[in-house]
Amino acid sequence: MTYDIATRELPGQSIISIRENVPPADLPAFIGRSFRDLFGHIRLLAIPVAGEPFAIYHSFGADTIDAEIGLPIHGHVEAAGRITTRELPPVTVAETIHAGPYEGLADAYAELTAWIDAHGFEVVGPVRERYLDGPGTGVAPSAYRTIIAMPIVLVRQPALAR
């Protein structure tokens, strides 16, 4: 797959989320459980979602992944149990869209990382995945669409093409 990559300014955003350190094998179950709890919570409060569901990966380790699963909202919601609320700060990101099953996300990550380095940027924060189409949206895995966004800053001028 060919990936179109661009930079973009993401505005600040109020979110509700659930964050845990989970073993890599448990990540899909954690994500599913967290989205179920988050959607249930906002349904109880009659609060609309203000965008796509997302995950923020704060760190990847061999034994655990520090993952935060969230929903963008308008305004503020009180925390409840393992559900927290906070404001994501505005950030400049390099992003691309991966189309297809999640097993292919590694290719998108590799191309995005190579593009960031080739264009003189450095990753300065946790990666975000926004789920445009995925489980629960009624589409097959081959039709999933995931935006991968990495916060960046320019650290050097990119080499000129010859």
- What are the tens digits of pLDDT across the range 141-150? 999 999 999 9
pLDDT in tens, 66-122: 999 999 999 888 889 999 999 999 999 999 999 999 999 999 999 999 999 999 999
pLDDT band at 162 (very low <50, low <70, confident <90, very high): very low
Alpha-carbon gap, residue 112 to 42, rounded angstroms? 33
Is a pLDDT exceeding 60 seen at residue 152? yes
Determine the topology of domain 6-154 in CATH: Multidrug-efflux Transporter 1 Regulator Bmrr; Chain A (3.20.80)
Alpha-carbon gap, residue 119 to 37, rounded angstroms? 40
Alpha-carbon gap, residue 109 to 80, rounded angstroms? 33
Domain residue spans of the chain: 6-154
pLDDT reported for residue 160 = 56
- The answer to whether residues 131 and 54 touch, using CB atoms and an 8 Å cutoff, is yes
Q: Specify the pTM.
A: 0.93
